[in-house]
Amino acid sequence: MTKQKRRAAAGERRLGSPTMSLASLEDQLSEPVLLPGEDRCLYAAMAQAIRQRLAPSDLVQAMACADIVTLRWEILRHRRLRQKSVERWFAAEIFKIYREGDVSDPEGRRLTEDDQVRLAMATVSRDPGQRDAALEYFDRKVGIDRDQILAEAYAASPNVKVHDARLIQLMRQHRQAMRDYDDLEDREAMRDIPDAEIVRDAP
């Protein structure tokens, strides 16, 4: 019997208890705590993909798998928030340039503050058409290198540094959690191998 088949058979024996199925246990463990704006469907798809990849076969593995799901989601969360921090800083710099410069609309009228805010926020819009139009307008009216503004946003935003530090920590924790999960699988596999088979497989 191969190592993988032994693990599967051991998992089936351990899950034979009538108290709770592993699927219902996983559902309870993976109930997400989402922040405003986070996508529940994206979380569910990610959690399902990780559970399918790790295939937990008992309570301890299911809890370890849930920890890995949580860590992966936090990594995605901080990447998204870091991007938001950069975009917010970038839009603020664009607004400042419009406010301090002599920029007019296509009819030659000086931009109002509302116009400046609208145009600045459009540069980081989720709508690609609106974003491209706003950036093209900025390039035509101002002509300052946008990459330089972005570079300064990365360097100057304190929130970016906070998210970068947290991401490094989370990725280390994720790597350790994966190693711990592999160790759990190895220990379970060894526990389910009969002594005679261990001796027979020994070099």
**Cα 115 to Cα 106: distance, rounded to the nearest angstrom:** 12
pLDDT tier at 7, thresholds 50, 70, 90:
very low
Per-residue pLDDT of 75-128, as tens digits, reads: 999 999 999 999 999 999 999 999 988 787 767 788 889 999 999 999 999 999
| Whether 141 contacts 103, CB under 8 Å | yes
What CA–CA distance (Å, rounded) separates 70 from 134? 37
Q: Give the per-residue pLDDT at 15.
A: 46
Q: Residue 21 has what pLDDT?
A: 66
Contacts 24+ apart (CB under 8 A), 147-151: 149/90, 149/93, 149/94, 150/86, 150/90
Name the strand (E) or helix (H) holding 174: helix 158-192
Q: 89 versus 30: which is more confidently predicted? A: 89
pLDDT digits (tens, 9 = 90+) for 161-170: 999 999 999 9
Rounded to an integer, what distance in angstroms lies between the CA atom of residue 98 and that of residue 121? 12
Which of the pair, 189 or 153, is modelled with greater confidence? 153
Domain range list for the chain: 38-190
Q: How confident is the model at residue 156 (pLDDT cuts 50, 70, 90)?
A: confident
The three-state secondary structure class of 111 is coil
Confidence at residue 59, expressed as pLDDT on a 0 to 100 scale: 86
Structure token digits, residue 192: 């389910």
Per-residue pLDDT at 1: 44
The pLDDT value recorded for residue 57 is 86
Q: How far is CA 176 from CA 38, 67, 123, in A?
A: 26, 11, 39
DSSP code for 194: -
User: pLDDT tens-digit profile of 169-180?
Assistant: 999 999 999 999
| One-letter amino acid for residue 163 of the chain | H
pLDDT in tens, 39-89: 999 999 999 999 999 999 888 899 999 999 999 999 999 999 999 999 999
pLDDT for 8 equals 47
93 burial class (0-12, 13-18, 19+ CB within 10 angstroms)? Answer: buried
